[in-house]
Structure 1
Amino acid sequence: MIKIKIIRNPEQGIVEFHVTGHANQGPHGQDIVCAGVSALTQTAVLGLDRHLGARIHLDIASGNLKMCLLDNPDRLTNAVLETMLIGLTEIAKANPQSVRISEHRR
């Protein structure tokens, strides 16, 4: 199962996310659920870093991704992260046995 943990600050902005696990919906490299989650999360990280120049901390390992904003979220960083979450939520709805999303407050 892929577990996605979203961390929000007191103002409800997304400040951190963690993704762990595998969907196990297909052979390694051919799992469409893992590919969708990876594409959304990695694109969000690239958008924050390369397009917005946001200061972030990444911790990446096989099957795991943790991203933390180093500054408070603003309108643009939050738009990127909320859009990522919309996509992840749709994947989780279509694959509830493979993807679980939890939200936490700081």
Structure 2
Amino acid sequence: MIKVTVYRDNNQIKSFELSGHADSGPYGYDLVCAGVSAVSFGAVNAVLELADIDLAIEQGSDGGYLRVTISDSEASESMEKAQLLFEGMIVSLQTIERDYSQFIKIQSK
């Protein structure tokens, strides 16, 4: 199962972590994993490109782990863009969770 944990402070996303594997299909044909990967990496790339913001990114060497942390020192305009893009990511992940809840679980802390 993929576990998504979103860490917030004052309702702003400070970091998020994805861990585990969906195992919803054979390796290379796992649609839940592919969807979660596309949504999360797409959001990270969008923030890096469009918000020009500093992100601390940790990845597992064999996949199955991603942690992204937003620096507290970002300008408010850049932070607003990053928040909007990451909130969009969460909405997309929740859509996947709604249809495939046996393979993905999202929680906020």
Instruction: With the length of structure 2 as denominator, give the TM-score of the two structures.
Output: 0.90
Would you say how many aligned residue pairs link Structure 1 and Structure 2?
103
Amino acid at match of 2:83: N
The alpha carbon displacement at 1:51 in A equals: 2.0
The alpha carbon displacement at 1:17 in A equals: 0.5
C-alpha distance in 1 between matches for 2:49 and 2:87: 18
Instruction: With the length of structure 1 as denominator, give the TM-score of the two structures.
Output: 0.92
Q: What residue in structure 1 maps to residue 85 of structure 2?
A: 80
Q: Does 1:9 align with 2:2?
A: no
C-alpha distance in 2 between matches for 1:50 and 1:82: 16
Work out the percentage of aligned pairs sharing the same amino acid: 30
Amino acid at match of 1:86: V
Q: What residue in structure 1 maps to residue 102 of structure 2?
A: 97
TM alignment of 1:33-72, pairs within 5 A: 33-61=32-60, 62-71=63-72
C-alpha distance in 2 between matches for 1:57 and 1:67: 6
Amino acid at match of 1:56: L
Amino acid at match of 1:67: V
The alpha carbon displacement at 1:28 in A equals: 1.0
C-alpha distance in 1 between matches for 2:48 and 2:59: 15
Structure 2: stretches of 5+ with no match in the other structure: none
* 3-state DSSP of counterpart to 1:16: strand
The alpha carbon displacement at 1:15 in A equals: 1.3
C-alpha distance in 1 between matches for 2:20 and 2:42: 18
Structure 1: stretches of 5+ with no match in the other structure: none
C-alpha distance in 1 between matches for 2:80 and 2:58: 24
C-alpha distance in 2 between matches for 1:81 and 1:32: 21
